[in-house]
C-alpha cells in the first residue's frame, strides 16, 4: 500500500451536515470536488492521495536504477515503459489531489521538506536485476491488493484514478513475475539472485500495508468515510495467501520459518515484520531515505530554470496574443 | 555489398541505441513530471527502432548474432554511432538541444529512407518516421520556449548550442559506405540533406533568440568507428554489464 499511517483529521463541522454526508457515503454516492465535504475528509484525502502520488514518483528511483543496466533491449523497453507508467500514476494522483485545493508544487515542497511521506518500501535499495522482478511481483502486487478496493472509494477523482492505475499495476505485476520465472529457470547465479531478492524484499513488502491493526488507531474514521476500505491486517493476510503459492511455484523459499498453511483459518500463518525497523524507515532512517530525497531535491532544483523558462515563454506568448487582439 | 549494408544498418541502429540510452538516463529526475514522461517516451521509441535496425543488421551479417548480441556484446570500436548522440546529457537544455539537432536530421534521413530500394529499410523507416516527426515537434517547441524564456534559460540554450555544434557536422559527412548505399538506391545523399537541415533549424534558432556558431568545424570518427568519444565506453560499461558478467544467462 502506498498510503501508510494516514491519520484521519478531526472534523468540526455542523453535525447535521456531517450526518447527511455520511448518509451519502453509506448509500454508495461518489463525492465530487465541488460538493460539500467535511474539512477532516478533505484534509485526510489530501494527505492520503498526496502520499500515494509521492510514492509513485519516488518509486521511479529504485527501478530507474536499473534502466541503464537492463540486460536485453526488450527488458529495457519494458522497464522504461513501467517506470513511465509510474510517473503517469503520479500525475493522475496529483491532479486528483489538486481538485481538493492544493497544488502539485505545494505537495512537492511538502515531500521535500518532510511534511509529507511516501511508502516505506522505496527506501530499500535495488541491488541486482532480480530486484526488478521482485519489485514488480511483490511491490506492485501489494499495491494492487490495496488499490483494487480503493476503486470503490467515496471520492470520485480518487476512485477514477484508481481504476486507470489498477489496470497498469496488474500488468506490472505480471511483468515482474515473468522476470522472476526467467531467473528461476536460469543459471545457478540467476536462481541465487532471485532468492536473494526475495530474502531482502519480503518483509519490507509486508510493511507496505502499515502497522498491525492493534497499533493502527486512525482507521475507524477513514473506513466509515470509505477512504480506507480494508484494515491493514486483512490486506496483509490476503497478500501472503496470494504470494506464498507463487513463491512455491517459482521454487523460491520465503524467508520465514513460521510460514505455514492454517487449515482452520483458511490462510497462512506468518511472521510479522520487524516493526521497529518500519518505524525507523518512516522516521527517515531506512537504507535509502537520504538518497531518495536528495535525488528528488536535485531534480527539483536543477529543473527550476527549465520550469521558469517555460513559464516565461508561455507568458510572453499569451501577452503577444492579447496585444494582437 | 552486404558488408557495406551491415555497416550502414549499424550506423542507423547504433544512433538510436546510444541516444535512446542517453535519454533514458533522465528517467525519474526530469525537471517536471510531463517532461519525465515525454523523455521516457522518446527513449522507448528509440529502443524500439534499435530492435528493428539491429535485428536486420544481424540478419544481413548472417553470423548467428541477434539484435541483443550486437547491442550488448560489441566494444567501443565496433560501434558506429555519431559523436553527437554519445555526448553526455548535461543539463536539460543540452539534452534537448542534442535532441533537436538530431531529430531534424533524423526526420530528413528517415523520410528519404521510406523510398529506399531496400524493402526492409523502407518498412522500418516508414514505422520510425512518424515517431521522429513527433520528436522533432517536441524538441523544436522546447528549444524555442527555453531560448525565448528567461535570460538564464537563453544563456543555457546558447551554451548548449555552442558545445554541441562541432558534433553536428558529422551527420552530413559522406564516406565510401554512404556512397555505395546511395548508388544502390538504398540511402540518400547525406551531403545534400544539409541544406534542408539548415532550413529546419535556422528559423527555430532565430525564434529561440539563439545564434548559430560561425565555425563549421566538425569532429568526425563516430560513425566510422575510427575515434569515438570517451563517453561511449562508460555508457557501454553500464549498459552491457549483465550480459558480460553472466555470459551464459538468458534474461
Ligand atoms: Fe503505480
Ligand atoms: Fe507502483
Ligand atoms: Fe506499478
Contact A71 B152 (CB under 8 A): no
Only one residue has cell 540467476, namely A190
Closest CA to B106 of B49, B39, B48: B49
Q: How many CB atoms lie within 10 A of CB A218?
A: 15
Contacts of A62 in chain B (CB under 8 A): none
Q: What is B2-245's CATH topology?
A: Ferritin (1.20.1260)
* DSSP state for residue A10 in the 8-state scheme: P
Q: Predicted ipTM?
A: 0.97
Contact B29 A310 (CB under 8 A): no
Contacts of A307 in chain B (CB under 8 A): 31-32
Question: Residue A267: which H helix or E strand, with range?
Answer: strand A267-269
Q: How far away, in angstroms, is A193 Cα from ligand 3 center?
A: 22
CA-nearest residue of chain A to B238?
A: A69
Core vs surface per residue B131-144: b (16+ CB within 10 A) or e: bbebbbebbbbbbb
Contact B68 A316 (CB under 8 A): no
Using CA atoms, how far apart are residues B250 and A247, in angstroms rounded to an integer? 20
Using CA atoms, how far apart are residues A147 and B38, in angstroms rounded to an integer? 26
Q: How far away, in angstroms, is A122 Cα from ligand 2 center?
A: 10
Contact A76 B243 (CB under 8 A): no
pLDDT at A276: 96
Q: How far away, in angstroms, is A185 Cα from ligand 2 center?
A: 26
pLDDT tens per residue, chain B (251 residues)?
699 999 999 999 999 999 999 999 999 999 999 999 999 999 999 999 999 999 999 999 999 999 999 999 999 999 999 999 999 999 999 999 999 999 999 999 999 999 999 999 999 999 999 999 999 999 999 999 999 999 999 999 999 999 999 999 999 999 999 999 999 999 999 999 999 999 999 999 999 999 999 998 999 999 999 999 999 999 999 999 999 999 999 99
Using CA atoms, how far apart are residues A299 and B104, in angstroms rounded to an integer? 28
Contacts of A94 in chain B (CB under 8 A): 33
Contact A81 B148 (CB under 8 A): no
B29, B50, B92 ranked by CB distance to A306: nearest: B92
Contact B145 A189 (CB under 8 A): no
Only one residue has cell 519525465, namely B36
pLDDT at A1: 52
Contact B92 A314 (CB under 8 A): no
B30, B47, B92 ranked by CB distance to A73: nearest: B47
Q: How far away, in angstroms, is B29 Cα from ligand 2 center?
A: 17
The confidence band for A325, taking pLDDT boundaries of 50, 70 and 90, is confident
The pTM of the full predicted model, rounded to 2 decimals, is 0.95
Q: How far away, in angstroms, is A219 Cα from ligand 3 center?
A: 25
The confidence band for A304, taking pLDDT boundaries of 50, 70 and 90, is very high
The full set of domain ranges for chain B reads 2-245
Instruction: Answer whether A147's CB lies under 8 Å from A165's CB.
Output: yes
Measured CA angle at B190 (ends B185, B195), to 5 deg: 130
Please give the mean pLDDT across all residues of chain B: 97
Q: How far away, in angstroms, is A139 Cα from ligand 2 center?
A: 7
The region that residue A267 occupies, defined by phi over 0 for left and psi between -120 and 50 for alpha, beta otherwise, is beta
Structure-derived torsion over alpha carbons of residues B62, B66, B71, B76, reported in degrees to the nearest 10: -30
Contact B93 A306 (CB under 8 A): yes
pLDDT in tens, A250-272: 999 999 999 999 999 999 999 99
CA-nearest residue of chain A to B94?
A: A306
The confidence band for A285, taking pLDDT boundaries of 50, 70 and 90, is very high
Would you give the distance in Å from CA B31 to the centre of its chain?
Answer: 22
pLDDT at A215: 80
- Which of A56, A69, A73 to probe by mutation at the B interface, max B CB count within 10 Å? A73
Closest CA to A145 of A161, A124, A168, A169: A169
Instruction: Quote the percentage of chain A above a pLDDT of 70.
Output: 98
Instruction: Answer whether B249's CB lies under 8 Å from A127's CB.
Output: no
pLDDT in tens, A2-50: 777 677 676 678 889 999 999 999 999 999 999 999 999 999 999 999 9
- The mean pLDDT of A65-80, rounded to a whole number, is 98
Using CA atoms, how far apart are residues A94 and A158, in angstroms rounded to an integer? 10
List of residues 6+ apart from A70 with CB closer than 8 A: A76, A79, A80, A129, A132, B242
Contacts of B152 in chain A (CB under 8 A): 305, 308-309
Contact A87 B145 (CB under 8 A): no
Identify how many contiguous H helices and E strands chain A contains and give both numbers: 14, 2
Contacts of A312 in chain B (CB under 8 A): 148-150, 153
CA-nearest residue of chain A to B40?
A: A84
Q: How far away, in angstroms, is A167 Cα from ligand 1 center?
A: 10
User: Reduced to 3 states, what is the DSSP secondary structure of residue A261?
Assistant: strand
The region that residue B33 occupies, defined by phi over 0 for left and psi between -120 and 50 for alpha, beta otherwise, is alpha
Q: Is the pLDDT of residue A217 over 70?
A: no
Question: Residue A262: which H helix or E strand, with range?
Answer: strand A260-262
pLDDT in tens, A116-152: 999 999 999 999 999 999 999 999 999 999 999 999 9
pLDDT at B151: 98
- The grid coordinates of residue A112 equal 521535500
pLDDT at A314: 96
pLDDT at A220: 85
pLDDT in tens, A162-190: 999 999 999 999 999 999 999 999 999 99
Amino acid at each position: 500500500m502506498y498510503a501508510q499511517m494516514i491519520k484521519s483529521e478531526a472534523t468540526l463541522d455542523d453535525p447535521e451536515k456531517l450526518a447527511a454526508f455520511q448518509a451519502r457515503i453509506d448509500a454508495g454516492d461518489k463525492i465530487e470536488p465541488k460538493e460539500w465535504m467535511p474539512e477532516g475528509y478533505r484534509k485526510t484525502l489530501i494527505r492520503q492521495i498526496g502520499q500515494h502520488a509521492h510514492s509513485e514518483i519516488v518509486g521511479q528511483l529504485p527501478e530507474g536504477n536499473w534502466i541503464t543496466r537492463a540486460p536485453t533491449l526488450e527488458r529495457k523497453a519494458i522497464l522504461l515503459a513501467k517506470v513511465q507508467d509510474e510517473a503517469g500514476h503520479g500525475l493522475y494522483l496529483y491532479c486528483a489531489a489538486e481538485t481538493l485545493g492544493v497544488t502539485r508544487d505545494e505537495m512537492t515542497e511538502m515531500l521535500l521538506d518532510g511534511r509529507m511521506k511516501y511508502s516505506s518500501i522505496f527506501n530499500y535499495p535495488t541491488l541486482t536485476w532480480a530486484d526488478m522482478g521482485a519489485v514488480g511481483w511483490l511491490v506492485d502486487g501489494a499495491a494492487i491488493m490495496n488499490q483494487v478496493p480503493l476503486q470503490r472509494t467515496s471520492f470520485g477523482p480518487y476512485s477514477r484514478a484508481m481504476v486507470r492505475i489498477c489496470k497498469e499495476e496488474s500488468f506490472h505485476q505480471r511483468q515482474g513475475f515473468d522476470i522472476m520465472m526467467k531467473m528461476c529457470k536460469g543459471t545457478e547465479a540467476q536462481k541465487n539472485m532471485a532468492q536473494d531478492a526475495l530474502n531482502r524484499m519480503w518483509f519490507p513488502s509486508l510493511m507496505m500495508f502499515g502497522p498491525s491493526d492493534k497499533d493502527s488507531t486512525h482507521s475507524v474514521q477513514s473506513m466509515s468515510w470509505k477512504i480506507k476500505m480494508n484494515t491493514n491486517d486483512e490486506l496483509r493476510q490476503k497478500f501472503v495467501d496470494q504470494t506464498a503459492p507463487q513463491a512455491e511455484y517459482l521454487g523460491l523459499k520465503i524467508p520465514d520459518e513460521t510460514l505455514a498453511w492454517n487449515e482452520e483459518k483458511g490462510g497462512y500463518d506468518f511472521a510479522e515484520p520487524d516493526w521497529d525497523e518500519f518505524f525507523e524507515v518512516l522516521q527517515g532512517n531506512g537504507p535509502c531515505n537520504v538518497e531518495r530525497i536528495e535525488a528528488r531535491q536535485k531534480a527539483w532544483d536543477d529543473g527550476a530554470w527549465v520550469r521558469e523558462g517555460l513559464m516565461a515563454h508561455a507568458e510572453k506568448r499569451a501577452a503577444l496574443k492579447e496585444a494582437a487582439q | 555489398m552486404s558488408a557495406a549494408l551491415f555497416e550502414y544498418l549499424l550506423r542507423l541502429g547504433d544512433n538510436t541505441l546510444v541516444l535512446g540510452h542517453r535519454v533514458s538516463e533522465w528517467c525519474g529526475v526530469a525537471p517536471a513530471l510531463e517532461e519525465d514522461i515525454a523523455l521516457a517516451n522518446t527513449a522507448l521509441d528509440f529502443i524500439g527502432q534499435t530492435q528493428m535496425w539491429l535485428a536486420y543488421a544481424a540478419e544481413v551479417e548472417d553470423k548467428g548474432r541477434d539484435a541483443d548480441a550486437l547491442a550488448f556484446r560489441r566494444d567501443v570500436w565496433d560501434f558506429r554511432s555519431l559523436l553527437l548522440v554519445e555526448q553526455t546529457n548535461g543539463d536539460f537544455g543540452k539534452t534537448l538541444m542534442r535532441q533537436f539537432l538530431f531529430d531534424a536530421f533524423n526526420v530528413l534521413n528517415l523520410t528519404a529512407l521510406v523510398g529506399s530500394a531496400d524493402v526492409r529499410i523502407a518498412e522500418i523507416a516508414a514505422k520510425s518516421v512518424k515517431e521522429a516527426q513527433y520528436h522533432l515537434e517536441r524538441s523544436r517547441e522546447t528549444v524555442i520556449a527555453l531560448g525565448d524564456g528567461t535570460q538564464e534559460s537563453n544563456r543555457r540554450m546558447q551554451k548548449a548550442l555552442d558545445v554541441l555544434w562541432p558534433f553536428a557536422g558529422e551527420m552530413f559527412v559522406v564516406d565510401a559506405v554512404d556512397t555505395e548505399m546511395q548508388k544502390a538506391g538504398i540511402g540518400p545523399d547525406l551531403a545534400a540533406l544539409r541544406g534542408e537541415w539548415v532550413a529546419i533549424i535556422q528559423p527555430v534558432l532565430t525564434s529561440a533568440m539563439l545564434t548559430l556558431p560561425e565555425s563549421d568545424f566538425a569532429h568526425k570518427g563516430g560513425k566510422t568507428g575510427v575515434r569515438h568519444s570517451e563517453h561511449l565506453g562508460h555508457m557501454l560499461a553500464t549498459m552491457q554489464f549483465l550480459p558480460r558478467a553472466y555470459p551464459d544467462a538468458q534474461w
